[in-house]
Each structure stands twice: as structure tokens, then as C-alpha cells.
Amino acid sequence: MRCATLTSSPTRLGLFILMPWVLLVACGGGDNGAGSSTPSASAMKLAYVANWNSGNVSTFGVNSDGSVTALLPPTVAGQHPHTINVDPAARFVYVANHESDFLSGYTVNKTTGALAPVPAATLTTGDSPHASVFDKSGKFLYVVNGIAAAQITANIVNADGTLTRIGAPIPTGAHSHNLGIDPSGRFIYVASQDSNQIFAFTVNQSTGGLTQIPGSPYAGTSGPLDAVVDQTTQFAYVSNSGGEIQAFMIDPATGGLTPIGVILSGGLFAHTIVIDHTNNFLYTGNINSNNVSGFQINHSSGALTAVQGSPFATGNQPEGVTLHPTDEVLFVTNFGDQNVSRFSINSTTGQLTLSGIFQDTTAPGSVSGPISVGITD
């Protein structure tokens, strides 16, 4: 197993200082390349980073404290991979290739972290696929694609990672940029940037089919870019290109949305948006102001309150934000700096502290433009 030398700094947790990469892999430890122990990748979480410029996917091992080791040389994807999605059982990874008409699909070797391509012919989407999302079981995959005429497609995920289309594509306005599914897997929300709309669908739990919710689409504020649902399926939040975050109450029976407020992110071009598993904090990356905003969620009203110190400085063009499954670490892809920032999260306040910066150096000159991260649960 190959390792790469990565750059970072120690992580301070309470009164203890954990040097980067407690669990070491092959020739080096996480983030700084020190150490010599050789457990398999199966002992770690696996993280995959889509690289927009170079059209490939980097593979990392991630320790419980968030320290990282590059495991393998990058895997080829399509042209301009935009988002990356790992299924709940860590069997498959799918990459939406913005300038291609297909998803790149892979099976995951849980021992080494290696990705083996699924036949591309089964993953055709139509022009410009932007993003995908699994239902909670990993049985169904939903994909948005298209610019001038965007659409969402529902798919069955077969045992070998190939996809079988469910019904016909459903229009979703113009330039559907991203989508979110509620934790119960009953509702899907699509952020359509150019038509300034949010499309809402119910999911048939048996067939995987989609039905548009009455009242959908809903109005955005300045070009919706991403949508996320809280852990209780009470509230949905949508980031917008003008820097606003819209908050909605969700009808638990129908999935319909009722606006409850709009808050400024504190940055410019609020992009990817995530909520931690405790349902306490929401984070969004602001591409044009080089920072990440953090908010505390009011469990009763859904209102957002900026955490102290927000927004937090990142590298250049923070395109993607992804939480470690422990909710103790936030990863941010810095598109303009060719690296990924690692932040420790204060579980009480939600504040972020930069604890490391890493990049894939397994194939110098062959990796460029990190844009999104997917992590195995």
C-alpha cells in the first residue's frame, strides 16, 4: 500500500494533544508521514475526493480524530467530476461528471480502499450530471443533471453497482445544482440555481419512484445551490448563491415546505451545506469569501444563530464541506489551493479550529482541483 507525505499540525482536544494520525498505515502516518505500523484500510474510514481539473478521484484513510493518509494513486473519473457520493454500506462510490453524460461508478475494496470501475454504459444520465444521493438503505440512487433543462432520475442500485432506471426523468427547472434527502428517506429536495427554485418529491419506499409534492417548486432567494434536511425531518435548509440560507418547516405527512426565515451566511456564494448528526449545528462553505459559516439550530423553531467566531477562514474557494461520521471533524475542499482543510469541531459551541491541511501527493502533477469529499460511515 502506498503512502504520501502530507502536511498538517497537531490536533488539540481538551487537555490532550493528539499528534496527527494515531492509526498508522504502511510507510507513514496520517497527515505527516511519520510511523511504520501497517493495519489495513478496513480499520479506518475511507475518504474519496473528487478532483475537478484532473478528472480523477483520490483515496484516503481517515482516523477517528480526522487525521488522514493518502492510500493509493488517483482513480480515473469523467470530465470535471463535481460531486462524490458513497453508499450507506460503503459498497459503491458514484461521481457526477459535470462535463460528461455519465456517472463514474466504482465498487469499494474495503480492505485496501481501491476503487474498481462499474461499466460506464449502465450509468448514462444525460448531459451534465451534477449530483446524486442515496436513500437510507442504499437501494435507490437519485441523480440530477442538465443545465438549461434539468431533471431528476430515480435508479435501482444493482448488486454489481450498475443502475436500472425507474420510470422517466422528471423536470427540475434549470441548472439543478444539488439535492438532499431526509434521514427517513421519504422526501427529496432539489436546489435549481438558474431557475431560482426548490423542487420537492416524495419517495415510494417500495419502488423508489418519485412524485412531485403539491406546491412544488418553491421560490429560492438568489439561486439555490444545495439543500439539507435536519435529523428529525422537521426543517429543511437551502444555500443560495447570494449568500443567504433559507429555512423551511417540513409538513411531516406530505413533505411540503413552509418558509420560516432567511439568514445571511456571513460569506459570499454559500455553496455546500451540511448538518451534524446531533442536529445541533449547520455549516456551509462560502466560495467567494474563502470561509465556512457555522450556525446553531433551534430544535423548536428551526431558527439559525451564528456560532461565535463564524465565519471561519479556509483556503481559497471552499467548494465542498463534509462531516466526519463522529461529528468531531469538518473537511473543506479548497479548490483554489489544491488541498483540503481539516477542522476540529467544538461539540458544545460548534466553533471550528483548523487542525490540518492535506493533499494527495501520490501522483505529483496528476491531481488538481479538489471539489468534494465522500466518507464511508
Q: State how far Cα 211 lies from the chain centre.
A: 25
Bridge partners for 112 per DSSP: none
pLDDT digits (tens, 9 = 90+) for 82-96: 999 999 999 999 999
Q: Which three cell numbers stand for residue 182?
A: 431526509
Q: Which domains does the chain have, with CATH numbers?
A: 11-375 (2.130.10.10)
Q: What is the mean pLDDT of each run of 10 residues along the chain (377 residues)?
A: 35 26 30 39 83 95 88 95 94 96 95 93 91 96 96 97 96 97 97 98 97 98 97 97 97 98 95 96 97 98 98 96 94 95 97 95 83 89
Per-residue pLDDT, 367:
83
Per-residue pLDDT, 43:
67
Q: How many CB atoms lie within 10 A of CB 259?
A: 12
Cα 273 to Cα 179, 306, 307, 372: the distances in Å are 10, 14, 15, 12
Closest by Cα among 59, 34, 65, 35 to 47: 59
Per-residue pLDDT, 30:
53
